[in-house]
Amino acid sequence: MIDHPDKILEWTLQHVQIILLANALAIVFGVSIGVWISGKGREHIADTVIYLASVLMTVPSLAMFGLLMGLLYSMNLPSVGLLPVVIALTLYGLLPIIRNTYTAIREVDPAMIEAGLGMGMSGFQLLTKIKLPLAVPVIMAGLRQAMVMNIGIAAIGSYIGAGGLGQPIFRGLSNYRKDLVLVGAILVSVLAVIVDFLMAGVERWTTPKGVRLGRNR
């Protein structure tokens, strides 16, 4: 691997690409679903959705890839490579994002809701002007959790041809190349730490200033 430093860069970039793609999808779907199930009178649906999302999380990644491959194959879609891995990671990322969105919105101080409604905000205005801004830091915490977790799972995605930092690990394993395994493993871990650090920044940065000031008191 020392002979191919360009390869390492390529795998890392592939890995990052998979993560960004999957978590972008996860946040779009996760927040939409989370907002929807937090609506009035949807408590039962919410329970079911969150339960299903946690069931998804318990499916082992290899089994998930296998299931998706079968599904995609039957739909005449590419059953190996980027697509099944991105779909799998999106599904894995849903739970923390849905759960955090749901909880954060449900836990907005009822006084805020009453004040907003009482002053004539529509349901949509209440959501976009009050609930979501207050929920964003918690949603971001969910995204952070999803991303860090997915960095590990994405490595397994190399098994079905998605590339990424799983490549050196699996190659090393099959060729008795400890150095390759080590490099892959270290890079995956470093990537996770970096992403975690960056997302902590994003979490802070998306916390509304007034809320941040309140916490420091």
Residues that bind other proteins (CB under 8 A): 109, 111-112, 114-122, 125, 130, 133-134, 208-211, 213-214, 217
Min CB(95)–other proteins separation in Å:
26
d(CA 84, CA 136): 29
Distance (Å, whole) CA 14 – CA 163: 6
Least Å distance, CB 101 to other proteins, is 17
Residue 111 Cβ, how far from other proteins at the closest point, in Å? 4
Cα separation, 120 vs 116, whole angstroms: 7
The distance of closest approach from Cβ of residue 38 to other proteins in the complex, given in angstroms and rounded to an integer, is 18
Whichever of 70 and 214 has its CB closer to other proteins, that residue is: 214
- State the minimum distance, in angstroms, from the CB of residue 10 to other proteins: 42
17/125 with CB nearer other proteins: 125
User: Minimum distance from CB of 210 to other proteins (Å)?
Assistant: 3
Of the candidates 193, 33, 19, the one whose C-alpha atom is nearest the C-alpha of residue 99 is 33
Of 75 and 217, CB closest to other proteins: 217
Residue with tokens 């592939």: 14
Q: Name which of 40 and 217 has its Cβ closer to other proteins.
A: 217
Our CB check for other proteins shows the closer of 138 and 153 to be 138
Comparing CB distances to other proteins, the nearer of 127 and 162 is 127
How far from 34 is each of 13, 39, 121, 170, 206, CA to CA, in Å?
30, 9, 21, 36, 18
CB 152 within 8 A of CB 15: no
Backbone angles phi, psi at 161, to 5 degrees: 85, 25
Buried b / exposed e along 109-141 (16+ C-beta atoms within 10 A): eeeeeeebeeeebeeeebbeebbbbbbbbbbbb
Q: Which is nearer to other proteins, 50 or 108 (CB)?
A: 108
User: Shortest Cβ distance from residue 78 to other proteins (Å)?
Assistant: 44
Of 176, 158, 101, nearest in space to 135 by CA: 101
